[in-house]
Amino acid sequence: MTGKTAFETRYGFRRNEVLLSNWRVSPFNRWSFQNLGELVPTARVAAAPGAVEARQRDMDGLLGEKVTVATAPETVAEFLLRSSTDAVTVMKGGKITGDWFAPHMEFGARHIIFSISKSVTAIIAGILEGEGVFDPEAPVTDYIPEAAGSAYGDASVRHVLDMSVSLDFEEAYLDPESAFARYRRATLWNPGGGTESLREFILTLQRLAEPHGQTFRYRSPNSDLLGLLLERASGQRFTDLMREKLWLPLGAVSEASVGVDMEGTARAAGGISVTPRDLARIGEMLRQGGTANGHRIVPEAWVRDTTSTGGSNEAWRRGTMVSLFPNGRYRNKWYQTGHENGAYCGIGIHGQWLYVDPSTEVVIAKMSSQPEPVDDPLDIEIVAFLEALSRMV
């Protein structure tokens, strides 16, 4: 018998045990969430040539501090482990104050951010709107005429941005027989894909009887459609848009990647992978009103609308996520918490968070490999943890 390999020692399983059928299942997700491109097709988003970054500060001074987010106090380190955290980067006042990495994740590694990809995609929409090439109030069919006859045939881009399309579709993450499983096959995220493209799948979806715009309905295909809308409006591939309009102006240090389907369509709803620090830089850019490195990236009006003034609390309250943020709103694929501190965030399944607290000038990027895609009680605890951590920094 041979001893354990370095891979087995680090992750607790063998590499050949990670399959397309189980890559989102614990414990295999501890590795796969950092290595999406070994399992599904991805396209690269290059950073500036020669950009390098050294690890400077850890969160050691905070790890022993106590927080109470459940029934009993626990240390920051204990909560990070309990919430299956892979990495955390904290910024305050525009400067990185510390990082934390689980033993199975190295500094500089990329990690899938799942539905924070939606939030990133909407930033690109804001940039194109500012350039006058994209109209959030236009009908979807102005950009994608073949959407006529689908649920999007009488929807506006605004409905897509705010998740208020009256779409007959459920985010049934764990049901292998659902339309959601067919959706994942179309993205090449599940076995059996390659017979139907993501675009083809989206355009088969039908609507509910309720008018668009009334109810917040979290439906991921809306955001993949947004990626297609941006491509049609600009005439550029999504990855080229992301690099030219966001990644290079942001000063991102590391290459990003985006999952793509059989036609090369970007998984704009959930397929982006970035480093924790570059994710935090996105939050800091928004905190700065849409600027980075002394240059404007996103129009200030778009950022203000996204993070504080836009969105419908009435539509949010009719949705199914109201328990997370009772006074919240959803605008341009970002969550406004409705809390006194004015915090807003992007959220992804399995524990991905980008949290911005304007009152403390703190940005926190948290990447995780939680066993369950959605864990509502834990999400509420994570919000309390992020609020507490932002006050400690």
Q: Is the peptide bond before 27 cis (omega within 30 degrees of 0)?
A: yes
What crossing angle do the helices spanning 116-130 and 276-287 adopt, rounded to 10°?
Answer: 40
pLDDT score of 106 more than 90: yes
The confidence score (pLDDT) of residue 281 equals 98
* Spatial distance between the Cα atoms of 158 and 357, rounded to a whole number of angstroms: 26
The confidence score (pLDDT) of residue 176 equals 81
40-44, 100-104, 176-180: least confident range: 176-180
The confidence score (pLDDT) of residue 50 equals 81
* Spatial distance between the Cα atoms of 59 and 361, rounded to a whole number of angstroms: 17
The confidence score (pLDDT) of residue 2 equals 65
Using 50, 70 and 90 to split pLDDT, how confident is the model at 264?
A: very high
Catalytic residues: 115
pLDDT digits (tens, 9 = 90+) for 186-218: 999 999 999 999 999 999 999 999 999 999 999
Using 50, 70 and 90 to split pLDDT, how confident is the model at 53?
A: confident
pLDDT digits (tens, 9 = 90+) for 368-378: 999 999 999 99
Q: How is 100-162 classified by DSSP, letter by letter?
A: EE-TT--TT--EE-TTHHHHHHHHHHHHHHHTTS--TTSBHHHH-GGGTTSGGGG-BHHHHHT
Q: 3-state SS string over 78-112?
A: HHHHHCCEEEEEEEECCEEEEEEECCCCCCCCCEE
pLDDT score of 1 more than 70: no
pLDDT digits (tens, 9 = 90+) for 307-353: 999 999 999 999 999 999 999 999 999 999 999 999 999 999 999 99
What is the residue-averaged pLDDT of the chain? 96
The confidence score (pLDDT) of residue 95 equals 95
Average pLDDT of span 9-37: 97
Cβ neighbourhood burial of 163 (10 Å; 0-12, 13-18, 19+): buried
Q: Which two tokens stand for residue 45?
A: 């988003």
Give pTM, 2 decimals: 0.97
Q: Which two tokens stand for residue 121?
A: 């995609």
The confidence score (pLDDT) of residue 111 equals 98
DSSP at 252: -
Name the strand (E) or helix (H) holding 61. Answer: helix 60-63
* Spatial distance between the Cα atoms of 313 and 309, rounded to a whole number of angstroms: 11
* Spatial distance between the Cα atoms of 18 and 111, rounded to a whole number of angstroms: 16
Q: How is 299-345 classified by DSSP, letter by letter?
A: -HHHHHIIIII-S-HHHHHHSS-TTT-TT-EEETTEEE---TT--EE
Q: Which of 387, 322, 325 is nearest to 357 (CA)?
A: 387
pLDDT digits (tens, 9 = 90+) for 113-163: 999 999 999 999 999 999 999 999 999 999 999 999 999 999 999 999 999
Q: Which domains does the chain have, with CATH numbers?
A: 1-32 (no CATH), 33-137+221-392 (3.40.710.10)
Convert 274-299 to b/e letters by CB count within 10 Å (16 or more is b): bbbbbbbbbbbbbbbbbbbeeeebbb
Which phi and psi (to 5°) does residue 170 adopt?
Answer: -120, 145
pLDDT score of 65 more than 80: yes
